[in-house]
A and B are shown apart, each in its own frame.
Chain A
Amino acid sequence: MAKATFDQMEYYDPQQIAAVSHRPPAGGWMDTPVEFRPGTWIYPGKAKHLEYLGLPNPRDWAVTDEDWKLPDNWKEIVLKGIRERLDKYRSFKVFMDVCVRCGACADKCHFFIGGGDPKNMPVLRAELLRSVYRNDFTTAGKILGRLAGGRKLTIDVIKEWFYYFFQCTECRRCSVFCPYGIDTAEITMMARELLGLLGIYVNWVIEPVANCFRTGNHLGIQPHGLKDTLEFFAEDIEEATGVKVDIPLNKKGADILFVTPSGDFLADPGTFTCMGYMLLFHELGLNYTWSTYASEGGNFGLFTSAETIKRLNAKLYAEAKRLGVKWILGGECGHMWRVVHQYMDTVNGPADFLEVPRSPITGTVFENARSTKVVHIAEFTADLIKHGKLKLDPSRNDHIRVTFHDSCNPARAMGLFEEPRYILRHVCNNFYEMPENTIREQTFCCGGGAGLGTDENMEMRLRGGMPRGMAVRHVQEKYDVNQLCAICAIDRATLVTVCDFWAPGVKVTGLHELVANAMVFEGENERKLNLRLEPVDELREEAGNA
């Protein structure tokens, strides 16, 4: 039998691994050009958005075009881009150098698990870029080329990068298993930056970025639109609960600026979670405000470039300063928390003009947010419950048998495991965990993060969502679970589809939708309807009969 190469799973066979030297192999994969299969790739960024953001090489083009209309000196641009990044980011240089190809990450990516494409093994995904690095930036590679695992940068390589680095949701599951702490998501981020230098973006990322830059949120909701939306929610809230909530907007001198992903304004079921926040703050009598300018918790800059992260994120602190708030409270968003915890302080901090967050209700000081001044709503609410500040009747959610999906970023980027579970146990009587190797730090991605959550790549998303979907299906069969709770706006959009395909019958909800439905409000009505305006009695009956 021919000796296995490192892009083959045999290579990682425990019995064989000792026999394999760690010399960089020259693999057949290097010469296999990408086949752009429909349903797996994403439409490119439109020229108008690139122009708006002042990004290079704006033009309209299609992935299926032979000619991607790259600048003549594209190669020089990319190699220079790699050089700059190697100098700027020590992590990038280390990640390029230290992988020993132990294979621990190879079978941990949901896209590989769901489809078996070897280039979706994190180690090989990284190698797509690393091979070029070796060829042009290492002595061995410069002399030995292929023999040292290097390969030349060609247009086909660029196309391959586009294909596979937009098949990585930057979920960082693989990095949990890497003994060297190599973060493939950061390699993906670098590759995307390099593609960006040539004007290669996906529209589902770059349009929201342009929108956010212009109006303050990804969806391009203008100030009056946001006001309308929240008023519309207030009407539904009143119908469901009898409670009239107020809507503080751009309120100077508020204690807290509240930001949440704009998906919660427009897309069900996130909208119900948004109503949940409004009710909670109203009941607490919190001196808070929404902002029509910093109206986006998320930051698609994370999927674009470090520079774009900074540009979009700056709005948060600028608005906090303008309004004179003490600190910032953040809603149920996923990647927002990767930005807040790992980049915000570096790119726009320190926010010395803000105070260390302290809950005005319980007096708890959020030491963990001492530097960024941004608190996660789950931390805030869990603290309220812990101090007995909320009147809760979890039996109001008795028709719900819920499981919890750890969203990649709150889980792996900030370690937020217990707070949401603590809240869930207080607002629902029926909570069931998915299998251990699919939750907490090992959680499986929804398949639609990091700019992949659009619809033209639906097949790829469902493939990547398979491991998550199968685990949901398991708790559905075993415990009759009928809802999945997620604290991320992308999840609330994409997991609805994942569940409908892999575990039909399981609905998706946000955490604060459940909180509000279980809360007992001052002056409430008989609570015959939930926030979705569904008759609760009927839901109970359905669940009872199920």
Chain B
Amino acid sequence: MSLATPIAECQAEVHGRWLDRVMASYPEQARPFFRRQKNRFANPVGQTLDRGLRLLLQELAGESRPEELCRHLEEILRVRSVQSFTPAQAVRFLFELKDIVREVLGERLADRREQEWLGRFDRQVDQLALFAFDIYSRLRERMYQLRIAEVKRSVSTIMKRTGYFSEELFAKPVPEQKTAGPSGAPGE
């Protein structure tokens, strides 16, 4: 997709700045650890964000397949959904991508063709944000479902004995929702 070319050229720089912005949402004292510890089991937050943002950018620079975008978003948001952020704080980083791309591409966005690209890119980011709303709320719903399921499980013997027990009472993974937002795949 030729549209994607401008960010394809400077992915690494966009990624670095984007990660900085995301990191800025964490306490100052934790940022160096989240950034520097490269072992993903010792530092699941930092490494998930690092990797997730990189994959999102790659996908945006390439085919922008909705399923892939959602998959990478979900990895990031699963982490951010349990970190005491408000919903807006949790997904804010997506909108920041617009600024970052302008900062990085700067003068290269001067001509009309690039301006058109930028318009389409902004819409892609909006679409990404819509995906993110869906995914984030699904994860939060899941958390509450799990909370209920756990309470039921804690008295499963009594429920079985009184005939109230059935497997259906327990939370199954919520099925993936196919599309989000009004306009189908982003970037189309």
A113 neighbours in B (Cβ, 8 Å): 42-45
Contact with B along A3-23 (1 / 0, CB 8 A): 000011110010000000000
Bound: A438/B40 CA distance, A: 11
Partner-binding segment picked from A285-293, A372-380, A422-430, A461-469: A461-469
Asked if B27 contacts A118 (CB within 8 A), the reply is yes
A458 neighbours in B (Cβ, 8 Å): 143-144, 146-147
Given the known interface contacts A116-B27, A496-B150, A497-B150, the answer about A271 and B82 at a Cβ–Cβ threshold of 8 Å is no
Ranked nearest first, the 4 interchain pairs of A and B with the lowest CB-CB distance are: A116-B30, A118-B29, A9-B32, A268-B156
Asked if B26 contacts A116 (CB within 8 A), the reply is yes
Bound: A459/B80 CA distance, A: 11
Query: Is A40 at the interface (CB under 8 A from chain B)?
Result: yes
Given contacts A267-B156, A437-B39, A463-B83, 15 further A-B contacts (CB under 8 A): A8-B32, A9-B32, A10-B32, A39-B84, A113-B43, A115-B83, A232-B157, A267-B157, A271-B157, A458-B144, A470-B40, A497-B147, A501-B78, A501-B146, A502-B78
Could you tell me how many residues of chain A have their Cβ less than 8 Å away from some Cβ of chain B? 49
Question: Which residues of B, 136-172, contact A by the 8 Å Cβ criterion?
Answer: 142-144, 146-147, 149-151, 153-158, 160-161, 171
Write the residues of chain B forming the contact surface with A, with a CB cutoff of 8 angstroms: 26-34, 37, 39-45, 48, 78-79, 82-84, 142-144, 146-147, 149-151, 153-158, 160-161, 171, 173
Asked if B44 contacts A267 (CB within 8 A), the reply is no
Closest to B139 in A: A501
Bound: A152/B33 CA distance, A: 30
Given the known interface contacts A114-B45, A437-B41, the answer about A462 and B143 at a Cβ–Cβ threshold of 8 Å is yes
Cβ-defined partner of B150 (8 Å) among A39, A455, A466: A455
B29 neighbours in A (Cβ, 8 Å): 7-9, 116, 118, 121
Cβ-defined partner of A459 (8 Å) among B28, B42, B84: B84
CB distance from B175 to the nearest CB of A (A): 11
Cβ-defined partner of A462 (8 Å) among B32, B45, B82, B149: B82
Asked if A497 contacts B146 (CB within 8 A), the reply is yes
Asked if A466 contacts B30 (CB within 8 A), the reply is no
Query: Is A60 at the interface (CB under 8 A from chain B)?
Result: no
Cβ-defined partner of B157 (8 Å) among A229, A471, A474: A229
Bound: A35/B74 CA distance, A: 28
Query: Is A112 at the interface (CB under 8 A from chain B)?
Result: yes
Bound: A505/B34 CA distance, A: 28
Closest to A459 in B: B82
Query: Is A209 at the interface (CB under 8 A from chain B)?
Result: no
Asked if A455 contacts B27 (CB within 8 A), the reply is no
Cβ-defined partner of B33 (8 Å) among A9, A263, A435, A504: A9
Closest to B28 in A: A8
Bound: A263/B29 CA distance, A: 39
Query: Is A34 at the interface (CB under 8 A from chain B)?
Result: no
Given the known interface contacts A232-B161, A437-B41, the answer about A500 and B173 at a Cβ–Cβ threshold of 8 Å is yes
Cβ-defined partner of A114 (8 Å) among B82, B146, B154: B82
Bound: A501/B74 CA distance, A: 12
A117 neighbours in B (Cβ, 8 Å): 27, 30
Question: Which residues of A, 460-515, contact B by the 8 Å Cβ criterion?
Answer: 462-463, 466-467, 470-471, 474, 493-494, 496-497, 500-502, 504-505
B83 neighbours in A (Cβ, 8 Å): 114-116, 463
Given the known interface contacts A113-B42, A118-B29, A500-B173, the answer about A459 and B154 at a Cβ–Cβ threshold of 8 Å is no
Cβ-defined partner of A268 (8 Å) among B48, B144, B153: B153
Given the known interface contacts A39-B84, A265-B157, A501-B143, the answer about A474 and B41 at a Cβ–Cβ threshold of 8 Å is yes
B32 neighbours in A (Cβ, 8 Å): 8-10, 13
Closest to B40 in A: A470
Bound: A114/B42 CA distance, A: 10
B48 neighbours in A (Cβ, 8 Å): 470
Query: Is A319 at the interface (CB under 8 A from chain B)?
Result: no
Bound: A226/B42 CA distance, A: 42
Cβ contacts A to B, 6 pairs, < 8 Å: A265-B157, A266-B154, A267-B153, A459-B82, A474-B41, A500-B142
Bound: A9/B36 CA distance, A: 10
Query: Is A107 at the interface (CB under 8 A from chain B)?
Result: yes
Bound: A270/B154 CA distance, A: 10
CB distance from B144 to the nearest CB of A (A): 8
Asked if A466 contacts B41 (CB within 8 A), the reply is no
Bound: A502/B78 CA distance, A: 8
CB distance from B145 to the nearest CB of A (A): 9
Asked if B173 contacts A504 (CB within 8 A), the reply is yes
Bound: A470/B171 CA distance, A: 20
Query: Is A37 at the interface (CB under 8 A from chain B)?
Result: yes
Bound: A8/B154 CA distance, A: 40
Asked if B155 contacts A266 (CB within 8 A), the reply is yes
Asked if A500 contacts B171 (CB within 8 A), the reply is yes
Asked if A9 contacts B31 (CB within 8 A), the reply is yes
Asked if A463 contacts B157 (CB within 8 A), the reply is no
Bound: A229/B84 CA distance, A: 40
Bound: A437/B37 CA distance, A: 13
Bound: A435/B147 CA distance, A: 28
Closest to A40 in B: B84
B142 neighbours in A (Cβ, 8 Å): 500-501
Asked if B154 contacts A493 (CB within 8 A), the reply is yes
CB distance from B172 to the nearest CB of A (A): 9
CB distance from B81 to the nearest CB of A (A): 8
A455 neighbours in B (Cβ, 8 Å): 147, 150-151
CB distance from A166 to the nearest CB of B (A): 15
Asked if B30 contacts A118 (CB within 8 A), the reply is yes
B151 neighbours in A (Cβ, 8 Å): 455
Bound: A118/B26 CA distance, A: 10
CB distance from B38 to the nearest CB of A (A): 12
Bound: A504/B74 CA distance, A: 13
Closest to B154 in A: A267
A504 neighbours in B (Cβ, 8 Å): 173
Closest to A534 in B: B167
Given the known interface contacts A107-B33, A497-B150, the answer about A466 and B143 at a Cβ–Cβ threshold of 8 Å is no
Given the known interface contacts A8-B28, A9-B33, the answer about A467 and B82 at a Cβ–Cβ threshold of 8 Å is no
Cβ-defined partner of B42 (8 Å) among A107, A462, A494, A496: A107
A267 neighbours in B (Cβ, 8 Å): 153-157
CB distance from B170 to the nearest CB of A (A): 9
CB distance from A17 to the nearest CB of B (A): 12
Asked if B41 contacts A459 (CB within 8 A), the reply is no
B156 neighbours in A (Cβ, 8 Å): 266-268, 271
